[in-house]
Structure 1
Amino acid sequence: MINSPLEDIEAAALQLAPAERARLAERLLVSLDEDDEILASWVAEAEKRGDAFERGEMEAIDFDEAIAQARARLANRRAA
């Protein structure tokens, strides 16, 4: 079975390091609507955080832990 160009690109992208995949995803999103200032701001922030992670200035946490922390913060705000 022959892969489509999209499948080849996807397979190659999945071989990238997580930070590189994130940067690629950001660039692809921006390419969909380059005039979207909000998206551009999010991309800039994501790149800043990705770079900080690569420099060891920021840690990654498990997705489930991140959700639990966010829910706890929301619960604390509601209780206040």
Structure 2
Amino acid sequence: YLGTQFPYNTAHQMGTMKMGTDPQRSVLDTYCRPHDLDNVFVTDGCFFVTSGAVNPTLTILAQTLRVADFIKKEVL
């Protein structure tokens, strides 16, 4: 068992608009808002910096709830 290599891959498209604090190295800020747009939020799988080893659905849902809470408190 320990000598067996398990390949990790994913069929989920993600990482096309990575999240970060530096506009030169990322597209989205920490609330999934494009650095150069104030009223757009992106909460699908594209905010991931890289793909993980498990299905990302619950993480995407958690991020969406976090961003929705931010919008409710800070934007509306």
**Structure showing greater Rg:** 1
More helix by share: 1
TM-score, normalization by structure 1: 0.32
Q: Which has the higher contact order (CA 8 A, sep 6+)?
A: 2
